[in-house]
Amino acid sequence: DGGITQSPKYLFRKEGQNVTLSCEQNLNHDAMYWYRQDPGQGLRLIYYSQIVNDFQKGDIAEGYSVSREKKESFPLTVTSAQKNPTAFYLCASSIQQGVWETQYFGPGTRLLVL
Amino acid sequence: AQKITQTQPGMFVQEKEAVTLDCTYDTSDPSYGLFWYKQPSSGEMIFLIYQGSYDQQNATEGRYSLNFQKARKSANLVISASQLGDSAMYFCAMREGANAGGTSYGKLTFGQGTILTVHP
């Protein structure tokens, strides 16, 4: 089945530790995105990538890094520089459909700081 | 200023009745898209419906329709014949600056969401 997978479902980070969240899609979508959601809030964009080996910062990129070595994969690293990383992280991918690209989301990863 | 405003933190509806979830937006871009997503308790964001700024007719997808009033900058979601499974958080989102016929990707700006509870 085609879709977007994120792993792990839950992730625990110790102080000063870098952690990497996985996002894979087999939909042959060109663009991929990372959003952060805090409790009771909407989503905020961290990074996005339109093509392989290219990505752009979103509104809250500080303390995060990404790579796009393959079309199917867009991992997000939460670095120790991110002082408040506890949140729900959602990955999305999109494809142009007519005028507008529609973003489809994975199931998310909950990151907790120990 | 908020680009997307959802003024209803929570809404209640009886099963089988219709409900309207409000969304107003703010943009100076003449070309934009408006999207609605559903987020159940599991957390996954489910795409429901979208409306382009140049679309002449209101979008519909099954039981979902979008009441688009461009002059008022509102894009309310109407759910007809509510079901218990409709209970979830609903987000309105906007994409600005796409060029018709071109490929243009970028962020969605989300509202704060509305929690919908459907009562039996």
A to B CB pairs, distance under 8 Å: 70
What is the 8-class DSSP label of residue A70?
B
pLDDT in tens, A22-69: 999 999 998 999 999 998 888 999 999 988 999 999 999 999 999 999
Q: Do B45 and A33 touch (CB under 8 A)?
A: no
Q: Indicate the residue of B50, B112, B113 with minimum beta-carbon distance to A102.
A: B50
Q: Does A107 touch chain B (CB under 8 A)?
A: yes
Burial (0-12, 13-18, 19+ Cβ within 10 Å), A73: middle
B-chain CB neighbours of A96 within 8 Å are: 103
* pLDDT tens readout for residues B16-56: 999 999 999 999 888 888 999 999 999 999 999 999 888 88
CA A97 to chain centre: 22
Whether omega before A8 lies within 30 degrees of 0, making that bond cis, reads yes
Cβ atoms of B103 and B56 closer than 8 Å: no
- CA-based radius of gyration for chain A: 13
* Residue for token pair 């489809």: A104
